[in-house]
Amino acid sequence: MNAITVSTLCVGGIGCVSALALAVADKFLSVKEDPRIGQVADLLPGANCGGCGFAGCADYAKAIVTGGAELNCCAPGGAEVAGKIAKCLGRDAVDVVKKVAVVMCGGDSTSAVRRFAYNGINDCAAANSTGGGDKGCTYGCLGYGSCARACPAGAIEIANGIARVVKSRCIGCGKCATVCPRKLIKLVPASETVHVRCSSKDKGPAVKKVCAKGCIGCRLCTKLGDPGAFSADGFLCARDYSQPLTKADDVIAKCPGHCITKDAD
């Protein structure tokens, strides 16, 4: 036998033995996976945004089928996907409220003062830890775009020194809310358009000193608006989204801090 035959047989033999071993192992050692996991994973959007709190869509599908996780955690998929999964698994459909992110600060560069010129790394956490941030207001949006870089949908724009969420593009995953060092981004029901865009807990005069669009804690909104539509905590008012708001225009026009605004889009 010449070398070519021997080597062909040898490599072929190794290949056959390996293939056989793998086939046997796959037959006897394979782990049975619930086929519904794959079906649910196919129904999910596949964006792997992690907004549901699990490590990606496949992990969430597994948690739904085996761990009994809620069906309505997928923000990008919304009610449509939740309904499809419920149908696939034979469970009752659950309500899904589509949520979007809102930056609770309206202090852009024309209305808020900066204490010094920050020249460091282009990152909000870094800016925030440099002397407490360059913005006069220690609660306000720094505008270095950490949230915009974290957004998987490209829904956050930095304009005029602050971050703004483009509602139509927001998938509601909440990644921006976790990276914001000042915790300014809140997830609110997408149907809501009126927000108190200020997070400053300082007293009125202190707010006025650093920003022209800050909540001074006068509580006028709680009196003018529908009962319960606005709540006040110390020197900061906030919109309570569980209550409806019908007198929005009146509140917006009369807010002395000019911090209650209506979404443009």
Partner 1 sequence: MEYFLLIVSAILVNNFVLSKFLGICPFLGVSKKISTALGMSGAVIFVITIASAVTWCLEKWLLEPLGLAKFLETLSFILVIAALVQLIDIVMKRFAPPLHAALGIFLPLITTNCAVLGVAVLNMKEGNGFFKSVVFGFAASVGFSMALLIFTGLREKIERANPPRCFRGVAIALVTAGLLSLAFMGFNGLVK
Closest to 215 measured CA to CA, from 229, 225, 224, 205:
205
Interface segment toward partner 1; rule CB under 8 A; list 2-10, 79-87, 212-220, 252-260: 2-10
Nearest CB to partner 1, comparing residues 31 and 264: 31
Q: Which of these ranges, 14-22, 61-69, 79-87, 100-108, lies near partner 1 under the rule CB under 8 A? A: 14-22
Relative orientation angle of helices 35-43 and 78-89, to the nearest 10 degrees:
160
Which amino acid, 38? G
Read off the DSSP letter of residue 127. H
Q: Is 244 in the site for partner 1 (CB under 8 A)?
A: no
Q: Which of residues 29-58 bind partner 1 (CB under 8 A)?
A: 29-31
Beta bridge partner(s), residue 101: 187
As given in the structure block, the two tokens for residue 45 are 């959007």
- Given a contact cutoff of 8 angstroms between Cβ atoms, the answer to whether 170 and 155 are in contact is yes
The piece of 21-29, 60-68, 168-176, 191-199 that touches partner 1 (CB under 8 A) is 21-29
14 binds partner 1 (CB under 8 A): yes
Hey, what are 75's tokens? Answer: 């923000």
Q: CB of residue 255 vs partner 1: minimum separation in angstroms? A: 40
Sequence-distant (≥ 6) Cβ neighbours of residue 165 within 8 angstroms: 100, 101, 102, 103, 155, 156, 176, 185
Nearer to partner 1, 83 or 145 (CB): 145
Residues near 154 by beta carbon (within 8 Å), at least 6 away in sequence: 148, 169
Q: By CB under 8 A, is residue 228 in contact with partner 1?
A: no
CB-CB contact of 212 with 112 (8 Å) = yes
Of 121-129, 137-145, 204-212, 216-224, the window that binds partner 1 (rule: CB under 8 A) is 121-129
Closer CB to partner 1, 12 or 228, in the complex: 12
Task: Check binding of 18 to partner 1 (CB under 8 A).
Answer: yes
Residue from 93, 126, 232, 248 touching partner 1 (CB under 8 A): that is 126
| CB 32, min distance to partner 1, A | 10
Distance, in Å, from the CA atom of 83 to the CA atom of 103, rounded to the nearest integer, reads 30
Which stretches of the chain bind partner 1, using CB under 8 A?
3, 6-7, 10-11, 14-15, 18-19, 21-22, 25-26, 29-31, 120-121, 123, 126
